[in-house]
Structure 1
Amino acid sequence: MSELMEHFSNLLADEEQINAQIAIAMKQICESARIGRSEFESTFTGITYATWRNYLNPAYKNSRSVAVLAALSWYTGVSMNSFYLGEKLCAFLGVSQEGLRLLTLISQLHDESFEIACQMAFGLIDEDKKDLVRESYLKARLLHREIAGICRFPRPLDLNSFSQDYKRSCAVGICRLQNKLGYSDAQMADILGVSEHRYIRLSDPEDELPIPVFVAVRFKVKFQLKETSFILDDMSEYPDFAHLRRFQDARDRIIRPLLEHLSSEAAARLHRALLNLFW
């Protein structure tokens, strides 16, 4: 079992722990991406700022919709897996707080801007370390070209509409996996740790009951799924997000080595330069 999957497994037993860890990571990522109230309200509709603040509060015990995490992932460019890392976010990603700020900045860029940022990061790495990341640097640029220009965040994003489309697609994907495995509703409910009635609602594409993050974590771990983007194949209103999701994790793994090999001084210089150029 990978270290990441082991981390997810350790969260399974306690829904409150999952919610708390999600909140910690969300808050760190939002702070790194400079998402305050005005930024939030101009970026998302269909959710109040008070509800949003609850999502960022580890003490908030109610369930959090995985669709909201998906929307934030789309806006920040940071992969959804990152939101499950909680207080171990920076350690698992292998970046400092400054590196996390750079990751969110670079991940939000598109097209030529992304390539410029990668070139700048590579150029600031010490000469004796460049060979360690040269391959990652080239792969990052090639991979981004596959999604450039077709996965832009539709600001402002209507979270009600997005959540419904996300839920419908997830429900179809879950049912598809259930049929493939030949499991009953009762078996699926037991695996995901919910009642059979709740599972039937969660797996119904026409039922708007949101999928909570603890179910998403259990779905990934219990079925040993390294890749879960297939459940977004049926997104019809926001297919760009489904397309982006297929590349997010890979792009994260490629960008991070560039950031890991930057000195503190170089990281600070890059951060200032990106802000001056693109914000």
Structure 2
Amino acid sequence: MPYEVSDKEIEYLDEMLKDINGDISVSMSYVRRAQGLTFEQLGEKFSGINVSTIKRYMQQSYPSIRPIHLVAAMSWVMMVPMTSFYYGFRLKEYYRGMDDDAVQALMCVGRLPSNQFEHIVSLIRNLLDTDQNQHISSYCKDLESEFGSIDNYDDLFPPQVLDLDAFAMDYYRSIAITVKIFREKNDITKETIARVLGLSSYQYDLLEDQYKTTSFPVAIGFRVKLGFKLASHVNFTSEMRMFPEFHELRKAQQFRDALIIEVLRHVPAKHKPHVINLLLEIAKIYI
């Protein structure tokens, strides 16, 4: 029997994501400031988009949609999980239990190479007791079984200059292939998945066309995850061929984010400000 989605569920998605473009702008702006990047420095990391366009996309009042490939590319260049951009002013909800300074630090640690990240985690764990360390060790094993090893993290950084047009072509090609596989595997009609994604039938047909690059709004990524109750939407980038590192990075980010958050949660309150400051200072070296 084909998968069904009720009108009530669609209304819920519409309400949940009505401010998505503004939320994305707020989050991207926050990360840029947290990392101390000027617009000019950010612009130097791309070809295919100019600084004035980047500025507009980061203005909450800018009425145009934010293309999902642009947001994905920004998340790669800034080395933060794409999902964190969704939260806007509510970014602390994504990093539940973290205060403002901790969230700022977490926006920067993605840029740390493996050695530095491991040293930081080891240093923090020296502040924990035996039971807490045993918990963290067990937690690491669970993460490895879910996401795999992150030994290759240093190979997953973006190119020095990311060609946004080439990235878009590779990104939408992967989405076209994987969304079709997902739809057919789960017996979802085109009409149903189009409604969930907030697209017309014509737009959805374009989405499944792997030979044509068409920009789509960032909302489709969150609508597919929420609408079909997916734990993650990482698999939709699994067919990227020009930039396979981006897909691998998304898995590694989930591992590292989950680990550093769990470690920080156990740091005694009297030590936490110093640990956060250390994270921020070391991260500055790599930004």
TM-score range, shorter chain: 0.7 to 0.9
**In the alignment, residue 107 of structure 2 is paired with which amino acid?**
T
What corresponds to 2:177 in structure 1? 172
How many residues in Structure 1 have an aligned counterpart in Structure 2? 270
Give the deviation of 1:273 after TM superposition.
4.1
Distance 1:70 1:201, change over 3 A: same
Q: Is the partner of 1:166 in helix, strand or coil?
A: helix
The reply on whether 1:266 has 2:274 as its aligned counterpart is: yes
Give the deviation of 1:109 after TM superposition.
1.3
Please list, as runs of the form range in 1=range in 2, the aligned pairs for 1:140-151 lying within 5 A after superposition: 145-151=150-156
What corresponds to 1:96 in structure 2? 99
Deviates more, 1:259-268 or 1:206-215: 259-268
Q: Structure 2 residue aligned with 1:63, among 62, 65, 85?
A: 65
Distance 2:107 2:206 in 1: 35
Please list, as runs of the form range in 1=range in 2, the aligned pairs for 1:45-124 lying within 5 A after superposition: 45-94=47-96, 95-123=98-126
- RMSD (Å) for aligned C-alpha atoms: 2.8
Distance 1:130 1:277 in 2: 30
Task: Please say if residues 140 and 259 of structure 2, whose CA atoms lie closer than 8 Å, have aligned partners that are also in contact.
Answer: no
Q: Structure 2 residue aligned with 1:235, among 218, 240, 263?
A: 240
Distance 2:35 2:142 in 1: 21
Distance 1:136 1:117, change over 3 A: farther
What corresponds to 1:205 in structure 2? 210
**In the alignment, residue 105 of structure 1 is paired with which amino acid?**
C
Deviates more, 1:184-193 or 1:255-264: 255-264
Task: Please say if residues 136 and 262 of structure 2, whose CA atoms lie closer than 8 Å, have aligned partners that are also in contact.
Answer: no
Q: Structure 2 residue aligned with 1:23, among 25, 28, 47?
A: 25
Task: Please say if residues 120 and 270 of structure 1, whose CA atoms lie closer than 8 Å, have aligned partners that are also in contact.
Answer: no
Distance 1:243 1:227, change over 3 A: same
**In the alignment, residue 66 of structure 2 is paired with which amino acid?**
R
Distance 2:151 2:137 in 1: 17
What TM-score do you get using the length of structure 1 for normalisation? 0.84
Distance 2:65 2:152 in 1: 32
Give the deviation of 1:133 after TM superposition.
6.4
Distance 1:187 1:34 in 2: 43
Q: Unaligned regions of 5+ residues in structure 2, if any?
A: 1-10
Distance 1:84 1:132, change over 3 A: farther
Distance 1:137 1:278 in 2: 27
Give the deviation of 1:89 after TM superposition.
0.6
Give the deviation of 1:193 after TM superposition.
1.7
Distance 2:250 2:105 in 1: 20
Task: Please say if residues 170 and 243 of structure 2, whose CA atoms lie closer than 8 Å, have aligned partners that are also in contact.
Answer: yes
Give the deviation of 1:154 after TM superposition.
1.0
Distance 1:182 1:10, change over 3 A: closer
Give the deviation of 1:78 after TM superposition.
1.8
Q: Unaligned regions of 5+ residues in structure 1, if any?
A: 1-8
Task: Please say if residues 12 and 18 of structure 1, whose CA atoms lie closer than 8 Å, have aligned partners that are also in contact.
Answer: no
Q: Is the partner of 1:84 in helix, strand or coil?
A: helix
Give the deviation of 1:191 after TM superposition.
2.2
Distance 1:105 1:140 in 2: 24
Give the deviation of 1:165 after TM superposition.
0.5
Distance 1:59 1:273 in 2: 32
